[in-house]
Amino acid sequence: MSETIAIDEGGRAANELALTQFAKLDPATTAWLLDVDGTLIDIGPSPFEVDVPDILKDTLLRLYEMSGGALALVSGRPVRDLDKLFAPLTLPSVGGHGAELRLSDAVITRIDDLPGDMRRHLISAVTPGSGVEYEDKGYSVALHYRKAPHHEERLRAHVAATRAAFPDIETELLPGKAMVEVKRPGINKGDGVRSVMAQPPFAGRMPVFIGDDITDEAAFSAMPEFGGKAFAVGFAFDGASGVFSSPDQVRLALRRLARL
């Protein structure tokens, strides 16, 4: 479970504690597992309107080199989108909340797609001018209403009707920040992290995961299995080693470790 941290004096104190704890980490012996939206980069008006600062790319490259390649992005985005955002970097990645995996061999493994008819039915909720946007990832469809929060109830009803219309297709509902996603069942960031930690150069290292949303809780819960640490952004999650107040503070903490 999680609770929101207001950015008042208590929130600032939590952020300073997170920065202090983070500064004690050794980049050379850590396995870095980093959520993207709301963690490394600020949440934009839509998933397609975000900014990845050049200094962040420089920081990630430096930490990737310092850790011997043990740095991976762990995101709800498909791997192909991560590559576009962080170009020219092509980092090890867990995409689609664990539906995709790419390690050092540059081969992307992914689960099967949802049927095309079901995906099209879900996407039909996105009407011109509504402010609602969608991501068709194949194995899932995400409906985003950041620009149109008044559509939330309608979208949730549409998703429920779609799932009922395809009773033979097993799916799970993944809630997030101003979005709802229908995906294949049994896929989560925790299992994605476990797959990463079973492979070199991640295996045997202490993992550090940073995340900001309910979709990250499965990855948080995996950290004790590897003696790892979890840091949250904006929310206090059970078991978190520290709480950053914003992605800007995460970028600052990483930059300090990278000595940039």
- Domain residue spans in the chain? 2-110+187-258, 116-183
Q: 10-residue block means of pLDDT along the chain (260 residues)?
A: 43 85 94 97 87 97 97 95 96 95 85 95 94 93 94 95 96 88 92 96 97 91 95 83 93 95
Identify the active-site residue in 8, 26, 35, 213.
35
Q: Do the beta carbons of residue 140 and residue 106 sit within 8 Å?
A: no
Q: Is 116 exposed, middle or buried (0-12, 13-18, 19+ CB in 10 A)?
A: exposed
Contacts of residue 79, defined as CB under 8 A and 6 or more positions apart, other chains included, come to: 93, 95, 96, 100, 102, 108
**Which pLDDT value is given to residue 122?**
97
Catalytic residue status for 35: yes
CATH number 3.40.50.1000 is the correct assignment for the domain at 2-110+187-258:
yes
Q: 179 has which bridge partners?
A: 144, 176
pLDDT, residue 236, reads 77
pTM above 0.85, yes or no: yes
